[in-house]
Amino acid sequence: MSEVLALALPFFGVIFLGLGCGRLARIPESGLAWLSFFIIYVALPPLFFSLVARTPFHELTNGTFIAATTLTTAACFALSLLVGLWLRHGNLPEATIAAIIGSYSNVGYMGPGLTLGALGAGASVPTALIFVFDSLFFFTAVPILMAVSGRDRRRFSATLLLVARRVMTHPFNVATFLGVAAAYFEFHPPVAVEKTLEFLRNAAAPCALFTLGVSVALRPMERMQGEVPWLLLIKLVVHPALVWLVLTTVGGFDPVWIATAVLMASLPPALNAFIMAKQYDTYVAGASGGVLIGTVVSVATVTAMLYAVQHDMLPHGLLQ
């Protein structure tokens, strides 16, 4: 258990350090701007590039794994959307944000550091694939649903063009696509460039986790919405269980890939839920509460999952 705590404590410790600083320091949220820019545009892209570029190209084209994990995330999104529509009385924009809480893991800020720390370099490819294709799904589904609901007043064709532009220009996706090209051509950066990339990617996790803590601390939370516990049940319990069920049923995957996917699915809701709620000016309080409470509860659930993964306690199938 001590090795699991040694792995989990730095991650959650830095988050709660940021949470405490956010509560105590009298610094406006605008103070996070440059740190957020550094994380998104400077530190995390080298991490994703390196994860992918070091991988044999044939491993990056595992369509079965991509389909299984992305469709499982989509299923949890659909289930959460139904819960949101039911408890938000058919309000599609609010239900869409609720669906993000119930299905979109914090794969950017928490995922790479946690999976690589727990499972080693073998987790790099599934981590990158899950991040890219889950992000593609959400960056596509959410704007389309908002356009259908009338919340986004652009023409539908304009919305589709906006979705395509955001997907193609997102720094994480650009870095991943460049990594795929580097893997295909077996390109290795010069030593000086590689050292710079290493320097930057080592800064990614602590900066991202601290920023996550501060961001959660600065979010308003008046009262917990009634649907939030149900959404967190889907996110923290149903999602990882369903990922395990689908991957073990399909079969043929490396145990490290299965463990990586389950661990990624067990992560708390992404901060993007709150960002999108603010962007569309809907369900802001629910998104804030979902991210905050989900992060706190995940201290127990993610630690338990880390213990199960590191002690090979995940069953290898329904009948085993």
Q: What are the domain boundaries of the chain?
A: 2-31+62-165+207-310
Range of weakest confidence among 111-115, 222-226, 253-257: 222-226
The amino acid at 307: Y
**Mean of the per-residue pLDDT values of the chain:** 86
Convert the pLDDT of each residue in 71-107 to its tens digit.
999 999 999 999 999 988 889 999 999 999 999 998 8
Q: What confidence score (pLDDT) does residue 142 get?
A: 87
Q: What confidence score (pLDDT) does residue 319 get?
A: 46
Q: How far apart are CA 108 and CA 204, in angstroms?
A: 10
Section 14-20 average pLDDT: 90
52, 54, 56, 34: which is closest to 43 by C-alpha? 34
Identify the residue with better confidence: 238 or 167: 238
Answer for the pair 227, 88: CB distance below 8 angstroms, yes or no: yes
Answer for the pair 55, 180: CB distance below 8 angstroms, yes or no: no
Q: What is the DSSP string of 213-269?
A: HHHHHTS--SS--TTHHHHHHIIIIIHHHHHHHHHHHH----HHHHHHHHHHHTSPB
Convert the pLDDT of each residue in 148-197 to its tens digit.
777 666 676 777 787 778 778 878 778 888 998 999 999 999 999 999 99
The encoded tokens of residue 301 equal 């659930």
Convert the pLDDT of each residue in 118-153 to its tens digit.
888 889 889 988 988 898 898 888 888 887 777 666
Q: What is the DSSP string of 184-219?
A: HHT----HHHHHHHHHHHHHHHHHHHHHHHHHHHTS
Q: What confidence score (pLDDT) does residue 21 get?
A: 93
Convert the pLDDT of each residue in 265-318 to its tens digit.
999 998 888 878 887 888 888 888 888 899 889 989 999 998 888 878 887 765
Query: What percentage of the chain carries pLDDT values higher than 90?
Result: 36
Q: How far apart are CA 65 and CA 315, in angstroms?
A: 18
Q: Dmax over Cα atoms in the chain, in whole Å?
A: 58
Q: What confidence score (pLDDT) does residue 218 get?
A: 80
The amino acid at 129: L
